Amino acid sequence: MELVREFTERGYKVSGFDRASVDIGDAARVEHTLAQADPALVLNAAAYNQVDVAEKEPQPAFVANALAVRNLAMACRQLDARFVHFSTDYVFDGMAGRAYTEQDEPHPLGAYAVSKLAGEFYARAYLERPLIIRTCGVFGPGGLKTARGNFVETMLRLAATQKPIRVVEDHVASPTYSPLLAARTADLVERGQHGIFHVGGGAPISWFDFAATIFRVAGMNPELQPTNEKEYRTPARRPKYSVLSNGKMESCGVAPMPPIEKAVELYMQARASYFDKK
């Protein structure tokens, strides 16, 4: 949604496809759909991101995150179209203890992460100049229209229960506001960039501190309690420090990301506008 809006506002003629209109896991359908559209640029923001479910059912994750990317890359090669693919901070194991750069060696920790890294490899195998954008903890207005929502909506929903909220304090990331991600993506496209780029929220923050920021911006004061990985076990292993460095992006003249508090303020403004229109 944000990508369609951003590129449309920049004067591009944009066609958006959801899963109901084209299953990108179906190679023949992808080839037929893209051949009809004959695009100069294809952006793939589709993903299977149920990280814990993927540990029990790895095949759907691999189809959506890897084989579907192969289908899109092959179709783009046939049409001589540029290809932009979105990947994830989860390709890293989180053991570096610092922000990851594009030169760091990936080391995925589970089925979801492996499938996303495989998608990167497929894009690079079939195309000479794909643009692969790794991002982190994406949240945006699109989450208001889906059943799963996003981290911000989860926190607001929990706050409404007036029960204590426990959030991990030992996992650090760089949450990313999706309209800003879309804008930075368009900036990279218009600069003719290719290869791997990190476009994250810009600054390290624990999920506990992110939750505290959300409540502060929202003017709420629920009981927020820290927890940790040992207390909050999940089926899938997650990188404990998966912050992404935006240095390469910024070196191309693309604007840095604003502070996370500003991003949350923008989200709250978009959220208020959405509910005002309903």
Closest Cα to residue 95, out of 246, 238, 239?
239
Residues 6+ apart with CB under 8 A from 277: none
Q: Is 133 exposed, middle or buried (0-12, 13-18, 19+ CB in 10 A)?
A: buried
Average pLDDT, the chain: 93
**164 phi/psi in degrees, rounded to 5:** -60, 140
Residues 6+ apart with CB under 8 A from 269: none
Per-residue confidence band for 209, with pLDDT thresholds at 50, 70 and 90: very high
Closest Cα to residue 169, out of 224, 215, 110?
224
Please give the Cα distance from 132 to 121 (Å, whole number). Answer: 10
Catalytic choice (90, 112, 177, 267): 112
pLDDT at 278: 65
- Residue range 138-166: mean pLDDT, rounded: 88
Q: What is the pLDDT of residues 52-82, one digit of tens each?
A: 999 999 999 999 999 999 999 999 999 999 9
pLDDT at 21: 82
Q: What is the pLDDT of residues 264-273, one digit of tens each?
A: 999 999 998 8
Closest Cα to residue 218, out of 177, 166, 267, 149?
267
Share of the chain above pLDDT 70, in %: 99
Residue 133 has pLDDT above 80, yes or no: yes
Please give the Cα distance from 115 to 110 (Å, whole number). Answer: 9
Closest Cα to residue 129, out of 195, 55, 42, 81?
195
pLDDT at 178: 95
Q: Which residue has the tokens 């500003």?
A: 262
- Looking at domain 2-277, does it have CATH number 3.40.980.10? no
**3 phi/psi in degrees, rounded to 5:** -65, -45
Per-residue confidence band for 147, with pLDDT thresholds at 50, 70 and 90: low
Three state DSSP letters for the chain: CHHHHHHHHCCCCCCCCCCCCCCCCCHHHHHHHHHHHCCCEEEECCCCCCHHHHHHCHHHHHHHHHHHHHHHHHHHHHHCCEEEEEEEHHHCCCCCCCCECCCCCCCCCCHHHHHHHHHHHHHHHHCCCCEEEEECCEECHHHHHCCCCCHHHHHHHHHHCCCCEEEECCCEECCEEHHHHHHHHHHHHHCCCCEEEECCCCCCEEHHHHHHHHHHHHCCCCCEEEECCCCCCCCCCCCCECCECCHHHHHCCCCCCCCHHHHHHHHHHHHHHHHHHC
pTM, entire model? 0.93
Structural domain boundaries in the chain: 2-277
Helix axes 151-160, 207-218, angle to 10 degrees: 60
Token pair for 176: 């990313």
Q: Is 12 a catalytic residue?
A: no
Residue 102 has pLDDT above 80, yes or no: yes
